[in-house]
Amino acid sequence: MRDFKGGGLLIHVILVAAALLALFPFFWMVSVSLMTAEDMALFPPPLMPVHPTLQHYQALFDELAMGRYLLNSTLIALGVTISSLLINSMAGYAFAKLHFRGRDSLFRLLLAMMVIPSQAAMLPLFLMIKELGLINTYAGIIMPGMSSVFGIFLIRQYLKSVPDSLLDAARIDGAGEFRIYRSLILPLSKPVLVSLAVFTFMGSWNDFMWPLIILSQEDRYTLPVALANLMGEHVQDP
């Protein structure tokens, strides 16, 4: 028993050390961002800022309009997430519980599309967005993310676990399909919808290539595009 406790303590020590090691780059990034130029020039560099300052963050928001880029990313990510949850949940419900001709064949076709790299679809999507006149607009970025095969698949597989008898009872009581979707499917799907919302929001927030292709006006850049543009300028404080 004593050996088991000693082994468990050793494992916990190793895990804590690994966690601290993994968090150190993030800690160092925050620490350096709070240093003055004089602190950064010291050798060896201090682990903590000697004279903490927020001047770098102030310069980002005052001189480089970082607040605008942050707002752009937030609006786009929210638009993609909300529209994706709505469309994917409807499609997932249809594939899971509605019976129509060609349902299974269409679903297999959607699954086959998951093997196509997203980069291969960028040119057709760009031409389509251009024909719609949505170049350099938020809608042009949001539209391709309004639905996803992964989201449809995730919700469809979750709804397969919902008993058909529950939906049949609602139909007997006179509820239509939209009423069933709104009053039964959405409340029962909260766990999978929350998971999908997190995945979708993070993916849209971190998306770089598509906003870079669609947007040309700097004041409409998302945060990843603006940061990449900032790093590409090799700027340095005087």
Cβ–Cβ < 8 Å for 186, 40:
no
φ and ψ at residue 183, rounded to 5 degrees: -95, -25
pLDDT tens per residue across span 40-94: 777 777 888 878 888 878 877 777 778 889 999 999 999 999 999 999 999 999 9
pLDDT at 193: 95
pLDDT of residue 7 exceeding 70: no
Please name which of 204, 226, 223, 215 lies closest in space to residue 144, comparing C-alpha atoms.
204
Cβ–Cβ < 8 Å for 159, 97:
yes
Please give the Cα distance from 231 to 235 (Å, whole number): 7
pTM (2 d.p.): 0.79
Residue 140: half-sphere exposure toward Cβ, Cα within 13 Å: 23
Cβ–Cβ < 8 Å for 93, 153:
no
Cβ–Cβ < 8 Å for 214, 129:
yes
- Within 10 Å of residue 236's Cβ, how many Cβ atoms? 6
End-to-end CA distance of the chain: 63
Q: Which residues touch 57 (CB under 8 Å, ≥6 apart)?
A: 33
Please give the Cα distance from 49 to 37 (Å, whole number): 10
pLDDT at 21: 93
Strand, helix or coil for residue 26? helix
Please give the Cα distance from 89 to 188 (Å, whole number): 11
Please name which of 28, 29, 45, 26 lies closest in space to residue 37, comparing C-alpha atoms.
45
pLDDT at 46: 81
pLDDT at 3: 53
Mean of pLDDT over the chain: 86
Q: What token pair was written down for 163?
A: 């008993």
Percentage of residues in the chain with pLDDT exceeding 90? 40
Going along the chain from its start, the domains and CATH numbers come out as: 2-53 (no CATH), 63-232 (1.10.3720.10)
Q: What token pair was written down for 112?
A: 């086959």
Helix runs in 98-189, H state only: 103-112, 122-131, 138-142, 149-159, 164-172, 177-180, 186-188
Please give the Cα distance from 27 to 223 (Å, whole number): 21
Please give the Cα distance from 232 to 194 (Å, whole number): 36
Please give the Cα distance from 128 to 132 (Å, whole number): 6
